[in-house]
Amino acid sequence: MIYIRSKEEIEIIRKSALMVSATLTEVAKLLRPGLTTLEIDKVAEQFIRDNGGIPSFKGYNGFPASVCISVNDVVVHGFPSKYELKDGDIITVDCGFYKNGYHGDSAYTFAVGDVKPEVLQLLKITKESVFKGVEQACDNNRVGDVSYAIEHFTSKVHPYGVVRELVGHGIGRDLHEDPQVPNYGRRGDGKRLKEGMVIAIEPMINLGKKEVFTWDDGWTVATKDGLPSAHFEHTTAVRKGKGEALSSFAPIEAAETANAELNSSYYSIVTAPVKVG
């Protein structure tokens, strides 16, 4: 069933979505080489609970953690672990926040330290593609218009692989609702969008080919060619004219920049040559 949300419901969803953004901002503040992904999960869960929320993902179909943490060639659904982040890694943190009966959902891929230029470009284009999709989430469009906008930008304008096995989705009282929102498709295809629908738009884009496989844990999805993958996501309200992102990347980007500057200053101090005499 596809739900049309009232203005009041959308505002509750917005609050949950912005709390996801706030959680990801806390993650952005602490990212550095040597940090374990398990530590990230603990910080995220504590922040969610301190703000009166429940981690949407914890226990969902048996998922063991509060956030999905996917490093380098892992596309989605990675388990937090004792893995220590390394300089040059990229890491996607996918997070859900549940409060007052409604979920918010967002994901962001971070660069850790000195990341290769071609990988940074993948992150940039994947992030831009979310907004290409959001623009098309407008009343009387179809799901395929959102899908086409993402696919065209990431695989036609740019030479990346668009993951097909995983899709965006409706969101509200349940974490995953109808309709499904693929990141590939044709304009004019799929369910008709109506003002008041709320969907999670989440392109998952590979540096190499589109093919993926699932690890033996039954959750972790990685690229078959071992090349990096990026994933960005916005909880989005369908509006007249163009869609509206209810989550926000702005505070995450600000924290990301501040953290990069802090780490850069730190490393310039500790690696500076020592004067003798």
Q: CA distances (Å), 213 to each of 42, 91, 123, 150, 161, in order? A: 27, 18, 21, 22, 14
Integer Cα distance of 90 and 108 in angstroms: 10
Average pLDDT over residues 184-208: 98
**pLDDT for 260:** 85
- Could you tell me how far CA 107 lies from the centroid of its own chain? 2
**pLDDT for 261:** 82
**pLDDT for 271:** 37
**pLDDT for 220:** 98
Give the residue among 258, 230, 264, 267 at the shortest CA–CA distance from 118: 230
**pLDDT for 264:** 62
Give 236-271 pLDDT, tens digit per residue. 999 999 999 999 999 999 999 999 887 764 443 333
Each domain of the chain, given as residue ranges in start order, spans 7-270
Average pLDDT over residues 108-114: 97
Give 121-142 pLDDT, tens digit per residue. 999 999 999 999 999 999 999 9
213, with CB counted inside 10 A (0-12, 13-18, 19+), is exposed
Instruction: Name the residue with higher pLDDT: 91 or 262.
Output: 91
Average pLDDT over residues 94-122: 97
**pLDDT for 38:** 98
Query: For 22-61, b where at least 16 C-beta lie within 10 A, e where not — what string?
Result: bbbbbbbbebeeebebbebbebbbebbeeeebbbbbbeee
Integer Cα distance of 187 and 225 in angstroms: 30
**pLDDT for 276:** 40
CA dihedral 153, 233, 167, 205 (to 10 degrees): 40
Length of the chain: 277
pLDDT > 90: percent of the chain: 93
**pLDDT for 270:** 36
Beta-sheet strands, E only, within 77-135: 90-99, 102-111
Which of 6-15, 57-66, 104-113, 263-272 is predicted with the least confidence, judged by mean pLDDT?
263-272
Q: Supply the pTM of this predicted model.
A: 0.94
Average pLDDT over residues 186-205: 98
> What does pLDDT average to over the chain?
95
Which of 81-85, 88-92, 174-178, 257-261 is predicted with the least confidence, judged by mean pLDDT?
257-261
Q: 179 preceded by cis ω (within 30°)?
A: yes
Give the CATH number of domain 7-270.
3.90.230.10
